[in-house]
């Protein structure tokens, strides 16, 4: 983080650098501490903080800090911030408009130059001063029905798109036609000479199409990591899928948690 990035930014601005640019639990905790410095909430004088349901807002460190300092956090329902978040409803729109106006003014005053991240702080300061008014904040909480509390702030037609999920799914089921040839194309036989003995592992045998459709049948031998196709005898017309080793159970399932083969520093 370079302090030059927030030169001439709005008073009280805190700058934090993050690689991905997304909010994280660590960044939100720092913001929550910054928030507490301004609102000065306490157990006797609590403050209500309304946030969306982003997972980074629910870190144990942030929740503990909020509980200890009298900050009551309420999460908005998912996919509703465009209607229920005051910033989205009343603040960001005017802020973008004023910011674009200030960018145009800056470009006219500095011909031949472009706006970089070092000018954003000063430009945002002017736009923020115009957008961040008391009336804008009041309108945001009123239009979202948060304060004054209005559970009927949204008309019925806004809920119509959600009715799609209430339509019952069709349970029509098409019964397959009986076909003697299809029955031969898929079967799981008992242990026999066509199976491969591999310790305690089991083998699944699936027959392929007829010899006319598959003149060169293959035996597919599949393990956890690789699958190998091996030609079978010319008289065989079946595709054999054999599981040489069963899927492991425990911490190393599906390849997750496998230890690296590289030597760790210090000989570990």
- The SS3 call for residue 143 is helix
Q: Specify whether 195 is located in the same domain as 146.
A: no
Q: Specify whether 126 is located in the same domain as 208.
A: no
45, pLDDT greater than 60: yes
For 146, residues 6+ apart whose C-beta sits below 8 A from its C-beta are 50, 84, 86
- The SS3 call for residue 96 is helix
What mean pLDDT is predicted for residues 150-165?
86
Dihedral over alpha carbons 174, 175, 180, 181 (to 10 degrees)? 20
Q: Specify whether 88 is located in the same domain as 14.
A: yes
Give tens-digit pLDDT for 178-194. 555 544 444 444 444 44
The number of distinct structural domains making up the chain is 2
pLDDT at residue number 166:
78
Q: Cα 78 to chain center, whole Å? A: 13
263 domain-assigned: no
Give tens-digit pLDDT for 14-27. 999 888 888 999 99
Averaged confidence pLDDT in the chain: 77
- pLDDT confidence bin for 160, thresholds 50/70/90: confident
pLDDT at residue number 169:
75
For 154, residues 6+ apart whose C-beta sits below 8 A from its C-beta are 83, 145
Report how far residue 150's alpha carbon sits from residue 142's, in angstroms, rounded to the nearest whole number: 8
Q: Cα 214 to chain center, whole Å? A: 44
266 domain-assigned: no
Containing structural domain, residue 7: 3-152
pLDDT at residue number 64:
97
61 domain-assigned: yes
Structure tokens at 47: 């403050």
240, pLDDT greater than 80: no
């Amino acid at each position: 983080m370079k302090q030059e990035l927030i030169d001439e930014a709005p008073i009280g601005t805190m700058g934090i650098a993050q690689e991905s640019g997304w909010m994280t639990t660590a960044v939100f905790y720092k913001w929550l501490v910054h928030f507490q410095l301004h609102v000065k909430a306490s157990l006797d004088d609590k403050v209500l903080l309304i946030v969306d349901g982003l997972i980074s807002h629910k870190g144990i460190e942030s929740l503990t800090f909020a509980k200890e300092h009298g900050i009551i956090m309420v999460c908005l329902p998912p996919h509703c911030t465009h209607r229920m978040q005051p910033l989205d409803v009343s603040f960001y729109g005017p802020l973008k408009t004023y910011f674009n106006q200030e960018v145009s003014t800056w470009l006219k005053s500095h011909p031949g130059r472009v706006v970089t991240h070092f000018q954003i702080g000063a430009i945002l300061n002017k736009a923020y001063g115009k957008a961040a008014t008391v009336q804008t904040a009041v309108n945001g909480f009123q239009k979202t029905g948060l304060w004054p509390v209005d559970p009927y702030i949204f008309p019925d037609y806004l809920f119509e798109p959600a009715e799609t999920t209430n339509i019952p799914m069709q349970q029509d089921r098409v019964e397959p036609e009986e076909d003697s040839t299809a029955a031969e194309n898929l079967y799981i036989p008992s242990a026999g000479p066509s199976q491969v003995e591999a310790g305690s592992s089991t083998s699944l045998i699936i027959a392929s199409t007829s010899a006319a459709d598959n003149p060169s049948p293959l035996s597919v031998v599949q393990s956890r990591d690789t699958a190998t196709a091996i030609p079978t005898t010319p008289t065989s017309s079946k595709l054999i899928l054999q599981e040489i080793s069963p899927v492991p159970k425990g911490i190393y399932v599906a390849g997750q948690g496998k230890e690296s083969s590289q030597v760790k520093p210090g000989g570990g």
